[in-house]
Structure 1
Amino acid sequence: MKITLKSPLDMHLHLRDDEMLKTVAPLSSNSFCGALVMPNLVPPVTDKDMVKSYKGRIIEAIGSDCFEPYMTLFFQDSYTRAFLEQVRDDILAVKLYPAGITTNSEGGVAALDVETLRPTLQIMSDLKIPLCIHGESNGFVMDREQEFMPIYEALAQSFPELSIVMEHITTAAAVAMLDRYDNIYATITLHHLLITLDDVAGGMLKPHLFCKPIAKRYEDREALLHVALNAHPKVMFGSDSAPHPQHKKEACGCAAGVFTAPIALPVLAELFANHGLLDNLQSFVSNNAMNIYNITPPVTELVLEDTPMHVPEKYNTVIPMYAGEQIGWSIRK
């Protein structure tokens, strides 16, 4: 069995910088024709020069691969119309992080109040710049995404012309939000389609499956699977592939993030094939994103087949999901 994917996209990707960028960027550009690149570097990407410089470093890291880095800005409520008009052609979206909620988000928004955010969000709405959100409160870790739902509702109601992307959703509550408002969309990761909290901490703790938002309950995973496998038109693949060196994952104060970039498409193909819905994979990993973001990515083709692949133990200092194991599908070389 095989499938040919046209212009596969990863609409939520962490590439980091410096040596880590050089290690992980080619592992995405080998599979995908483009990706929405997250801006939470240190310091975060907050102006036009930083966007252009970071994009240049990404292009240098991927070499000759056909790959478009779709860039993002780290949301600040001080952005003016003149600034956003100037940077509009260099970005695809603006990413909002609640302060301190995930990796390198300390400079995020401290008070998620609609009226405080209104000036910037209204400008974004006018300029048709999508807003991507890491949607978690600072409450009990299993409830954080569900507690964020009223904020999504308030934003959707206040800015009906603003495209709002709920990033890496993990709950049935977020899935239900998709059909409630025309301007709300979502990305779903590979790992949240596969694991629950039991897989992370139900036995021996597995640090390489620890991520934020944390994996949830079985019923949440089933809700995610339902919309992903059926290629709901408002969901798209976003890996949230988040590399950390081994010493930061296997440590006290384990860094949050699952590294899936090298195996994402083969594992997705196996998952969709096992459910008899392989034909829906094209929409989940490409067509939906093109429609939601109104983009025309580079034209590429990637053939996946049900030939087993052995996953390396590590890529430089980064340990991937399924490290050292065999998965059922692979990329045809």
Structure 2
Amino acid sequence: MERFIINSALDMHLHLRDDEMLKLVASKTSKDFVGALVMPNLVPPITTKEALLSYKKRIKEACKDDDFNPYLTIFFQVDYTYSFLEDIKDEIIAVKLYPFGVTTNSQTGVSSMDVEILRPTLEAMSKLGIPLCVHGETKGFVMDREKEFLPIYESLAINFPNLKIIMEHISTKEAVTLLDKYENLYATVTIHHLLLTLDDVAGGGLNPHLFCKPIVKRYEDRDALLKVVLDAHPKIMFGSDSAPHPKNNKEAADGAAGIFSSPIALQVLTELFEKHEKLDNLNNFVSLNAQRIYNLMPIKKEVNLIKKDFIVPEIYSNETEQVVPMFAGKTLRWSIE
């Protein structure tokens, strides 16, 4: 096959940042994707309607040349009231929960995952039909953080059966198994967790541009994710978790966690699905599953891919920001026409 069309691609986990970084990276998604679920972990985080609408305006301005819909989220707070959530419901696609201190800009995250502490907000969300997205990690040993969090997912699924819960960027075979145990659990999967293991990050020389949270895991974890994604599991959506950081913050002694994959997402996924003779399932992963799970009706936006070498730029930059993309300098087999 020399050509392939992706229809109305959706990225259901995206970091766009703000200010000059937003201006640099937003178009790298909006030119190819019809929409994206945008994370709220700015500084300060998005917790009010005023902040939400202001951020949406800035995103729209950064993407003004493209047909692109940012699906906004707010940062989970235990004191959200039913009336607040009811008022903001039409402006958001979900509420994002971060445990305290587990990832970038999560210092105002939830300090306790006790169900009774979370109950008032989660019951209000259940009644209003607002999904919950979760960064599911503890602060334990780095390779075990997601696995240790899985009982919390189970508790949430049992206690709030009418709440749609999205396990974000799952990275372990155990999370794959849990997905089918509860009807109200769903998941996003990234490119890097489909392709990489810890060996790629630290098996030879340290590659800071492949450092992320949750950390990429073992071969058996990658292979378990790959199988369900290639088979078009109906409860799994593509979420890049593309998370740009300035080059100097990645190449540092205390390097930031996050992989900037937006510019090469669809090319890499097309190559991956073609390699495994599963191209017929790619549109399910990057569009149709998300449309069904989130009840979305995006406009039709076709992306035409051709089998032509594409050399990934070494860097993306503007007047103030420099970001190194995933697979910088590498040659991909597919290009966007």
Could you tell me the TM-score, scaled by structure 2's length?
A: 0.98
Q: Matched residues in 1 for 2:176 and 2:196: separation?
A: 17
Q: Matched residues in 2 for 1:275 and 1:17: separation?
A: 37
**Deviation at 1:218?**
0.2
Give 3-state SS (helix, strand or coil) of 2:36's partner.
strand
Number of the residue aligned with 1:278: 279
Q: Matched residues in 1 for 2:160 and 2:299: separation?
A: 31
1:75-121 Cα distance to aligned partner (Å, 9 max, x none): 00100000000000000000000000000000000000101100100
**Deviation at 1:324?**
1.2
Q: Which amino acid aligns with 1:31?
A: D
Give 3-state SS (helix, strand or coil) of 1:10's partner.
strand
Q: Which amino acid aligns with 1:198?
A: D
Contact 1:68/1:298, CA 8 A, preserved across alignment: no
Q: Matched residues in 2 for 1:122 and 1:22: separation?
A: 37
Number of the residue aligned with 1:257: 258
**Deviation at 1:298?**
2.5
Query: Is 1:324 equivalent to 2:325 in the alignment?
Result: no
Q: Matched residues in 1 for 2:116 and 2:305: separation?
A: 48
**Deviation at 1:5?**
1.1
Q: Matched residues in 1 for 2:127 and 2:306: separation?
A: 44
Give 3-state SS (helix, strand or coil) of 1:324's partner.
coil
Number of the residue aligned with 2:138: 137
Query: Is 1:92 equivalent to 2:97 in the alignment?
Result: no
Aligned CA RMSD, in angstroms, stands at 0.5
Number of the residue aligned with 2:18: 17
Number of the residue aligned with 2:104: 103
Unaligned runs of 5+ in 2: none
Give 3-state SS (helix, strand or coil) of 1:95's partner.
strand
Give 3-state SS (helix, strand or coil) of 2:120's partner.
helix
**Deviation at 1:6?**
1.0
Q: Which amino acid aligns with 1:146?
A: K
Q: Which amino acid aligns with 2:295?
A: N
Q: Matched residues in 2 for 1:325 and 1:215: separation?
A: 20
Give 3-state SS (helix, strand or coil) of 1:254's partner.
coil
Q: Matched residues in 1 for 2:75 and 2:22: separation?
A: 18
Q: Which amino acid aligns with 1:88?
A: K
Mapping for residues 141-290 of structure 1, pairs under 5 Å: 141-290=142-291
Q: Matched residues in 2 for 1:75 and 1:176: separation?
A: 26
Give 3-state SS (helix, strand or coil) of 1:155's partner.
helix
Give 3-state SS (helix, strand or coil) of 2:141's partner.
coil
Give 3-state SS (helix, strand or coil) of 1:82's partner.
helix
Mapping for residues 6-155 of structure 1, pairs under 5 Å: 6-155=7-156
Q: Matched residues in 2 for 1:97 and 1:298: separation?
A: 31
Q: Report which stretch shifted further, 230-239 or 303-312.
A: 303-312
1:182-219 Cα distance to aligned partner (Å, 9 max, x none): 00000000011000001001111000000000000000
Give 3-state SS (helix, strand or coil) of 2:85's partner.
helix
- How many equivalent pairs are there? 332
Could you tell me the TM-score, scaled by structure 1's length?
A: 0.99
Q: Which amino acid aligns with 1:216?
A: K
4+ aligned runs moved over 4 Å, structure 1: none
Q: Which amino acid aligns with 2:58?
A: R
Q: Which amino acid aligns with 2:285?
A: F
**Deviation at 1:307?**
1.1
Give 3-state SS (helix, strand or coil) of 2:29's partner.
helix
Identical columns (%): 63
